[in-house]
Amino acid sequence: MASLVLVPFLLVIVLNLVNTAAIRRAAVAVGIGWSLIQLAWLLFPQTRLSGLDSSIFGIDFSSFFALDGLSLVLLISVGLVGLVTLITCLATVPDEKARFSFVNLVLLTMAGLNGLVMVRDLFSLYVYIEVVAVASFILISLDRDKLALEGAFKYLVLSASASMLMLLSISAILLICGSTSFDTVHSVLEQVPQKGLVASAMVLFVVAAFIKGGLVPFHGWLPDAYSSAPLSVSVLLSGIITKTAGVYTAMRIVTSVFGFTPMIQSLLLFIGTVSIIFGALAALNQKDFRRMLAYSSISQMGYIIVALGCGTVYGMAGALFHLFNHAVSKSQLFVNAAAVEQETGSRDMTKLGGLASRMPVTSGTSVVALLSIAGIPPLAGFWSKLVIIIALWQSGHHNYALIAVAASTITLGYFLLLQRRMFFGKTPSELSGIKEARAGLLVPALLLSAIAIALGIAFPAAINWFVKLPTGIMNMVVH
């Protein structure tokens, strides 16, 4: 497990120590190779080298890192989105020097994300979140234009605020529990009344995770960062960074540290529902397709948080499955957005139209992704939303379940609006010469579409496996 953190760090060091013209040209291949190795390591355990799972250079890392169902899904998502991002940069980052810097930052981000999802104590969790935050800030501002710097600055300010809240929470928890280990803190908090300093520490950490994830009302940075970042960076941000630094962090500290207290559940259900509604309604009013996708992400992350707020195994299973589905389909939509923006030079949907005949693969894969996120069968997104709605209904949160269903119809509405404006209708005369995107953008779109279709078809047969994933990590403690 430690190799998932150390190897990408070492690759960054080696790439920059050697730093010859040949190495710079091979950097993308190195990054893609590592992403494939990570996926193989996770999906095919027989590929793992004996002794590297818990020990490297004679150092035992088993006490620092652990792998469970939640970590496994996130690590697979990191590997997949990292792979897609690096392939996409072949078509969107033409300058060799810029591409080399981009690959280094992606590898650094993957190392931070991998560490984040495997650590077993709060302070280490914070450290890895900061590694990801620093790399993300640089990635967002990589183009150094006005909008990119503005988006990066907003991200920096709110991310730093969240970091301060996390440190305050960790300090209070350390005073109360004498440790930051997940297991120790959880055991101590079971014996302590959930009020005063304890309640404040818990709320501060959860709120900090909401800020990192861009949930309402802490979402101000997210649309600007997603829309102003370089094309390939938007794929990485939307696909995995905010989900891991924010949503995963909330999932982990609730399930493994704080437990499902009434206070925590109420906070999760309220913030999740507000995010679902606000994100969906805000997406309806966007002309910039990247900003529409950004607000859509806020709404879909709300579904994950609401499912977590159920406090049940089925709720956790739905949250985990929807997180993966959203990583797949939203990454794909940002790849499609990159293809359209690169070919047309515009993000304004009112200036586009009729691209389906000129970009059939981009249009077709976009339909698959948007229908999956909207929850249309038999695609993967349908099943994760269905599990979430069933979990809400079974846990007695009927109103939340009805809101989740209603918001899905709004989701379908704004995505159909996006598809109609961009790909149907009459093509503006200035776009008459538009052609299909390059392979660097088509291959990731086809790969992610295939995953959404295959997972949707296979889900009924694999439902028991998905439900079992979170069972071992649920500390179903209601104080």
Percentage of the chain beyond pLDDT 70 is 94
State yes or no: pLDDT of 270 exceeds 90: yes
353 vs 386, more confident: 386
Predicted local distance difference test score (pLDDT) of residue 51: 46
pLDDT score of 476: 41
pLDDT of residue 477: 43
Tell me which of 50-54, 116-120, 138-142, 351-355 is least confident: 50-54
Residue 320 is assigned to a structural domain of this protein? yes
**pLDDT in the model for residue 152:** 83
Q: Please check the confidence at residue 421 and state whether its pLDDT lies above 80.
A: yes
AA identity, residue 305: I
In a domain, 474, yes or no: yes
In order of 164, 186, 316, 367, 395, the CA distances from 312 in angstroms are: 31, 18, 6, 33, 8
Please check whether residue 7 lies inside any domain of the structure: no
Work out the mean pLDDT of the chain and round it to a whole number: 86
Cα–Cα distance measured from residue 301 to residue 248, given in angstroms and rounded to the nearest whole number: 10
DSSP category for residue 141: T
Please tell me whether residue 65 adopts helix, strand or coil conformation.
Answer: strand
Beta carbons of 135 and 108 less than 8 angstroms apart: yes
Under 8 Å between Cβ of 294 and 223: yes
- pLDDT tens-digit series, residues 224-237: 888 888 888 889 98
pLDDT of residue 278: 94
146 inside domain: no
Give the phi and the psi of residue 288 in degrees, each rounded to 5.
-80, 120
What span, in angstroms and rounded, lies between the C-alpha atoms of 329 and 298? Answer: 14
In a domain, 199, yes or no: no
For residue 11, the tally of other CB atoms under 10 A from its CB is 21
Report the largest interatomic distance among the alpha carbons of the chain, rounded to a whole angstrom.
70
Show the tokens assigned to 164: 């301060």
2: three-class secondary structure by DSSP: coil
Please report, as a single letter, which amino acid is at residue 344: T
- Cα distances (angstroms) measured from residue 385 to each of 47, 369, 373: 33, 14, 9
User: How far is 262 from 102, CA to CA, in rounded Å?
Assistant: 44
Cα–Cα distance, 249 to 225 (Å, whole number):
20
Beta bridge partners of 119: 65
Contacts of 117 (CB under 8 A, 6+ apart): 70, 71, 74, 75, 78, 244, 248, 252
Query: Using omega within 30 degrees of 0 as the cis cutoff, is the peptide bond preceding 217 cis?
Result: yes
**Residue 348 within a domain:** yes
Highest mean pLDDT among 41-55, 166-180, 428-442: 166-180
204 within a domain of the structure (yes/no): no
Concatenated DSSP letters for 326-363?
Answer: HHHHHHHHHHHHHHHHHHHS--BGGG---TTTTSHHHH
Q: How many CB atoms lie within 10 A of CB 183?
A: 13
Distance between CA atoms of 404 and 392, rounded to whole angstroms? 9
DSSP class of residue 247 equals I
Q: Provide the token pair at 8.
A: 């990408």
Helix (H, G, I), strand (E, B) or coil at 374: helix
- Residue 176 inside a domain? The answer is no
Residue range 429-442: average pLDDT? 83
pTM over 0.75: yes
The total number of structural domains in the chain stands at: 1
pLDDT for res 145:
75
Q: Could you list the residue range(s) of the whole structural domain that residue 290 is in? A: 260-479
Residues 392, 302 contacting (CB under 8 angstroms): no
φ, ψ of residue 312 in degrees (nearest 5) = -125, 165
User: What does the chain come to in residues?
Assistant: 479
At 306-360, the pLDDT tens digits run 999 998 888 888 999 999 999 999 999 999 999 998 888 888 888 888 888 888 9
pLDDT score of 173 more than 60 = yes
